């Protein structure tokens, strides 16, 4: 409904009717429309500057959560790496040293973590996060591999510990006859005058003088390799202890064991006698390591104190004559 408007004409002193053209109406409408548009754009600008669309704020929130999650993950990985490093250090420097085993080579610990291809699927989904994803997964894979190698290493160590126990029980480490007062050591290892052959020759063992029938003990766990009469050695027992060790006991009066039998350290294997090339009842005792005879005095450690050991060492090193021994 168009309202009729008037204006006061000063020349005619009358109210005159205002004539509104269509053009005027159009201009007015255009003005209103422009103003509305400007106002709307302004409002939108203000709104987007100070407020976010719900989807955007949701995505941003998710992103912040992911970043926090990643940060926690990164810190976890770093902590695990530190623990792993400490385990490796301990493994190489303590356990493997105790058991005289070579440390695991670094190349084995570090090597062979899956290439970039392993993470291809993940990267295809999130290409912009490529570096972050690869690094994190690489670190985790590396840790997994290290853990696997470390567990294997601990398996080895457990095995070595079990072997070590067996090895310690097997290596000869007591005297073959009871020698509490250390009066039995008659002659030691080295060049000695042979009482029957009447010449100075290599005496490859220790002589323990004792009355006929005194028990002779196995000096370590092992298997009886021989128990028979061998000419100049007389009645002899040979024990194979494994780990390269053998012990020989000669001039026995009789045996308590037969070949093939398993013995423990301290088991009676026979009795002191005077068989073979022997000048008086005694036990000629030899220790062999890797096919060579060695000084038995260094294998008496288990049943003597430090002082007694010194005394034995002194007794065994006296260059007296032996009580006998085999020809070879």
**Paired strand residues for 294:** 287
Decide whether 142 or 179 has the Cβ nearer to Zn ion: 179
The C-alpha atoms of residue 138 and residue 114 are separated, in whole angstroms, by 8
**Window 204-223: residues binding Zn ion (CB under 5 A):** 207
Applying CB under 5 A, the site for Zn ion has a residue count of 4
From the list 31-39, 117-125, 140-148, 318-326, the region that binds Zn ion by CB under 5 A is 318-326
For the CB of residue 160, give the shortest distance to Zn ion in the complex, in Å.
Answer: 37
Residue indicated by tokens 């990985």: 77
- 325 is a contact residue toward Zn ion (CB under 5 A): yes
Decide whether 143 or 182 has the Cβ nearer to Zn ion: 182
Decide whether 222 or 276 has the Cβ nearer to Zn ion: 276
For the CB of residue 214, give the shortest distance to Zn ion in the complex, in Å.
Answer: 15
For the CB of residue 300, give the shortest distance to Zn ion in the complex, in Å.
Answer: 16
Decide whether 207 or 256 has the Cβ nearer to Zn ion: 207
For the CB of residue 176, give the shortest distance to Zn ion in the complex, in Å.
Answer: 12
Rounded to an integer, what is the distance from CA 296 to the centroid of its chain?
A: 35
Is 300 in contact with 173 (CB distance < 8 Å)? yes
**Closest to 316 (Cα-Cα) out of 273, 287, 279:** 287
From the list 40-48, 140-148, 193-201, 315-323, the region that binds Zn ion by CB under 5 A is 315-323
Is 175 in contact with 265 (CB distance < 8 Å)? no
**Window 89-118: residues binding Zn ion (CB under 5 A):** none
Q: What is the dihedral of CA 194, 199, 200, 205, to 10 degrees?
A: -30
Give me the phi and psi of 168, to 5 degrees please.
-65, -35
Decide whether 142 or 234 has the Cβ nearer to Zn ion: 234
- The residues, ordered by sequence, that sit 6+ positions from 191 with a Cβ below 8 Å of its Cβ are 200, 201, 202, 203, 319
For the CB of residue 324, give the shortest distance to Zn ion in the complex, in Å.
Answer: 5
**Window 264-293: residues binding Zn ion (CB under 5 A):** 284
Decide whether 157 or 177 has the Cβ nearer to Zn ion: 177
The C-alpha atoms of residue 213 and residue 43 are separated, in whole angstroms, by 118
Residue indicated by tokens 């100070």: 50
Q: Which residues bind Zn ion (CB under 5 A)?
A: 207, 284, 322, 325
């Amino acid at each position: 409904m168009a309202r009729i408007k008037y204006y006061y004409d000063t020349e005619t002193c009358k109210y005159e009717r205002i004539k509104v053209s269509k053009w005027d109406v159009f201009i007015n409408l255009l003005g209103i429309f422009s103003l509305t548009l400007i106002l709307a754009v302004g409002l939108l600008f203000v709104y987007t500057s100070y407020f976010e669309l719900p989807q955007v704020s949701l995505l941003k929130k998710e992103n912040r959560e992911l970043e926090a999650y990643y940060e926690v993950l990164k810190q976890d990985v770093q902590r695990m790496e530190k623990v792993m490093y400490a385990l490796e250090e301990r493994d190489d420097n303590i356990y493997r040293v105790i058991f005289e085993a070579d440390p695991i080579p670094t190349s084995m610990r570090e090597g062979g973590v899956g290439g970039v291809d392993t993470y291809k699927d993940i990267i295809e989904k999130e290409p912009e996060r490529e570096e972050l994803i690869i690094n994190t997964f690489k670190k985790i894979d590396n840790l997994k591999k290290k853990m696997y190698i470390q567990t294997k290493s601990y398996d080895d160590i457990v095995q070595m510990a079990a072997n070590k126990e067996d090895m310690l029980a097997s290596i000869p480490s007591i005297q073959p006859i009871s020698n509490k007062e250390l009066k039995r050591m008659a002659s030691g290892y080295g060049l000695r005058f042979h009482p029957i052959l009447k010449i100075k020759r290599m005496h490859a063992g220790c002589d323990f003088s004792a009355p006929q029938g005194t028990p002779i003990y196995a000096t370590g766990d092992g298997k009886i390799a021989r128990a028979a009469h061998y000419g100049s050695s007389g009645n002899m027992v040979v024990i194979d202890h494994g780990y390269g060790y053998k012990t020989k006991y000669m001039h026995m009066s009789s045996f308590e064991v037969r070949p093939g039998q398993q013995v423990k350290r301290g088991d009676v294997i026979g009795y002191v006698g005077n068989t073979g090339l022997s000048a008086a009842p005694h036990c000629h005792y030899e220790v062999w390591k890797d096919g060579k005879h060695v000084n038995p005095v260094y294998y008496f450690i288990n049943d003597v104190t430090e002082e007694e050991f010194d005394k034995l060492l002194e007794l065994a090193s006296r260059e007296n004559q032996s009580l006998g021994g085999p020809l070879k």
